[in-house]
Amino acid sequence: MEKCKLRYQFVTTAQSTCRFMTFFRPNINAMSGYVPGEQPLPGTQVIKLNTNENPYPPSPAALQVLRELEGELLRRYPDPMAGAFREAASQVLGVPADWILVGNGSDDLLTMIIRACSEPGQRVVYPMPTYVLYRTLTQIQGAEFVEVPYQENYTLPVESLIEAQGAVTFVASPNSPSGTVASVEQLEKLAAHLSGVLVIDEAYVDFAETNALEVVKKYDNVIILRTLSKGYSLAGLRLGFGVANPALLEGLIKVKDSYNVDAVACAVGAAAIADQDHKNTNANMIKVSRAQMADDLQKLGFHVLPSQANFLLAQFPEGNAEFLYKSLKERGILVRYFNQPQLMDKLRITVGTPEQNDALIKGLGEVLT
Ligand SMILES: *Cc1c(COP(=O)(O)O)cnc(C)c1O
């Protein structure tokens, strides 16, 4: 009893932190976890332009399905392969259903790929800067990450990526935080010259002018990832999917959680992806706002990269951008600041509604004068 008490009392001392460290694998102790963008509590009065959520509501057809769900659906385990969503996605994409694997967000697919395709000591390769989760998942696995800098203006460093010969290579296109895309020719060249798996992360494809679906059909080492979080305004639902050769999916299916997609996500997501009109209408509004916001930011003196995503990477010519991030936050406007090389003079700003974007531009104008 006394011992127990003592242990509880001293739980936060350096000594017991050491003790806790002995519980974990060395690579877990050595890493810091992924830090998601701030999520203020629902109802907080804030203009949230920091995590690339879609500012418009989800499909009314999907919300209708949600309202009409019956308890019986929740009493039973869900379909392990989320068949209803798979079928709906198959229709929309024009690929057979067995080329589709559904996940709890596309992050879930990233986890499956790293788990199934890389082992400690093997290389996981990606251009930098990009989605930070690629590094985190590689560290969890205990594999080795190789970060290849993007070339001038975020041109994909194809030759260096090939040279690195990763067991897994990630390319986000459009990339975050740059919003830039890799061309289909570049991606095909990569696919042809890599002996490992090429993951083309198309989280923002709904706002882009091109996609790499054709590459998947030509190369059996390629998987494309899509999500309903951005284009379909369903980040809270957690639904994403991969498109690849069924033989590649087979290995991923072995490592996935048995019931990785819940029954609600499957049913609501199926209705959402079937409603292409709703998604396209919203994406078009965002593209118009994106052009306007780029214009407005340039007028304020920012350098803005051409973006095919629902955000802009704005470079502040006068150095570190952290104070801009902080000053906007004081005004109730959240944007994303990355305290890492190549990004310290930049802000990643999600394109919101015209009203939100106006508030951002007004806020920035005030801060700068
Ligand atoms: C948002 C995002 C994802 C994750 O999407 P979820 O489906 O919500 O897990 C994956 N990749 C990139 C590059 C993203 O920006």
Q: Is 223 within the bounds of a domain?
A: yes
Ligand 1 mean position, distance from CA 214 (Å): 21
Ligand 1 mean position, distance from CA 229 (Å): 7
Provide the Cα torsion 32, 205, 154, 288; round to 10°.
Answer: -110
Q: Is 154 within the bounds of a domain?
A: yes
Spatial contact of 176 and 201, defined as CB atoms under 8 Å apart:
no
E strand intervals along the chain: 47-48, 100-103, 123-128, 144-149, 168-172, 197-201, 222-227, 240-244, 303-304, 311-315, 333-334, 346-350
The residues, ordered by sequence, that sit 6+ positions from 290 with a Cβ below 8 Å of its Cβ are 207, 307, 310, 312, 351
For residue 235, give the ligand 1 atom closest to its CA. Answer: 8
The DSSP code sequence of 14-32 is HHHHHHHHTTS-HHHHH--
pLDDT of amino acid 16: 61
Please tell me whether residues 150 and 167 are part of one structural domain: yes
Pairing of strands 168-172, 197-201: parallel
Could you tell me how far CA 325 lies from the centroid of its own chain?
21
Please tell me whether residues 203 and 271 are part of one structural domain: yes
Count of domains for the chain: 2
Asked if residue 130 has pLDDT above 60, the reply is yes
Please state, as a whole number, how many other Cβ atoms lie within 10 Å of the Cβ of residue 316.
Answer: 22
Residue nearest to atom 3 of ligand 1 (CA): 203
Determine what percent of the chain is predicted with pLDDT higher than 90.
88
Tens of pLDDT, residue by residue over 89-104, are 999 999 999 999 999 9
From 111, 229, 307, the mutation candidate for ligand 1 (largest count of ligand atoms within 8 A of CB) is: 229
- What is the C-alpha to C-alpha distance for residues 273 and 90, in angstroms, rounded to an integer? 10
Look up the CATH number of the domain holding residue 206: 3.40.640.10
Ligand 1 mean position, distance from CA 227 (Å): 7
Q: Which residues pair with 103 in a beta bridge?
A: 240
Please tell me whether residues 260 and 339 are part of one structural domain: no
Please tell me whether residues 220 and 306 are part of one structural domain: no
Asked if residue 9 has pLDDT above 60, the reply is no
Ligand 1 mean position, distance from CA 308 (Å): 15
The residues, ordered by sequence, that sit 6+ positions from 94 with a Cβ below 8 Å of its Cβ are none
pLDDT of amino acid 125: 98
Burial annotation 236-262 (CB, 10 A radius, 16+ → b, else e): ebbbbbbbbbeebbeebeeebeeebbb
Q: Is 331 within the bounds of a domain?
A: yes
Please tell me whether residues 113 and 205 are part of one structural domain: yes
Residue nearest to atom 1 of ligand 1 (CA): 203
Tens of pLDDT, residue by residue over 142-194, are 999 999 999 999 999 999 999 999 999 999 999 999 999 999 999 999 999 99
From 54, 104, 107, 202, the mutation candidate for ligand 1 (largest count of ligand atoms within 8 A of CB) is: 107
Which of 249, 275, 301 corresponds to the end of one domain? 275
Ligand 1 mean position, distance from CA 312 (Å): 16
* The two three-digit tokens of residue 28, written as one number: 């877990």
For residue 229, give the ligand 1 atom closest to its CA. Answer: 8
For residue 228, give the ligand 1 atom closest to its CA. Answer: 7
Which of 252, 275, 298 corresponds to the end of one domain? 275
Pocket residues: Cβ below 6 A from ligand 1: 105-107, 131, 172, 176, 201, 203, 227, 229, 235, 240
Please tell me whether residues 234 and 95 are part of one structural domain: yes
Asked if residue 1 has pLDDT above 50, the reply is no
Please tell me whether residues 296 and 208 are part of one structural domain: no
Ligand 1 mean position, distance from CA 81 (Å): 20
Average pLDDT, the chain: 94
Please tell me whether residues 213 and 343 are part of one structural domain: no
Please tell me whether residues 128 and 215 are part of one structural domain: yes
Q: Is 232 within the bounds of a domain?
A: yes
Tens of pLDDT, residue by residue over 108-129, are 999 999 999 999 999 999 999 9
Residue nearest to atom 2 of ligand 1 (CA): 203
Spatial contact of 310 and 207, defined as CB atoms under 8 Å apart:
yes
From 131, 137, 239, the mutation candidate for ligand 1 (largest count of ligand atoms within 8 A of CB) is: 131
The residues, ordered by sequence, that sit 6+ positions from 189 with a Cβ below 8 Å of its Cβ are 158, 162
Please state, as a whole number, how many other Cβ atoms lie within 10 Å of the Cβ of residue 357.
Answer: 22
Q: Is 343 within the bounds of a domain?
A: yes
Ligand 1 mean position, distance from CA 26 (Å): 27
Ligand 1 mean position, distance from CA 106 (Å): 6
Q: Is 234 within the bounds of a domain?
A: yes
Mean pLDDT of 217-239: 98
- What is the C-alpha to C-alpha distance for residues 30 and 241, in angstroms, rounded to an integer? 31
pLDDT of amino acid 2: 38
| Residue whose pair of structure tokens reads 């070339």 in the numeric block | 151
Please tell me whether residues 248 and 226 are part of one structural domain: yes
Task: Quickly state the pLDDT bin for 44 (edges 50, 70, 90).
Answer: confident
Look up the CATH number of the domain holding residue 339: 3.90.1150.10
Q: Is 249 within the bounds of a domain?
A: yes
Please tell me whether residues 127 and 160 are part of one structural domain: yes
Q: What letter would DSSP give residue 65?
A: H
Task: Quickly state the pLDDT bin for 67 (edges 50, 70, 90).
Answer: very high
Please tell me whether residues 112 and 166 are part of one structural domain: yes
Ligand 1 mean position, distance from CA 47 (Å): 21
For residue 131, give the ligand 1 atom closest to its CA. Answer: 13
Tens of pLDDT, residue by residue over 285-340, are 999 999 999 999 999 999 999 999 999 999 998 888 999 999 999 999 999 999 99
- What is the C-alpha to C-alpha distance for residues 232 and 276, in angstroms, rounded to an integer? 9
Lowest model confidence (mean pLDDT) among 5-14, 86-95, 178-187, 203-212? 5-14
Residue nearest to atom 11 of ligand 1 (CA): 203
pLDDT of amino acid 14: 56
C-alpha neighbours within 13 Å on the C-beta side of residue 46: 17
Indicate the burial class of 76 (C-beta count within 10 angstroms; 0-12, 13-18, 19 or more).
exposed
Task: Supply the range of the domain harboring residue 281.
Answer: 47-56+277-368
Which of 246, 275, 304 corresponds to the end of one domain? 275
Q: Is 28 within the bounds of a domain?
A: no
Ligand 1 mean position, distance from CA 197 (Å): 19
Spatial contact of 271 and 62, defined as CB atoms under 8 Å apart:
yes
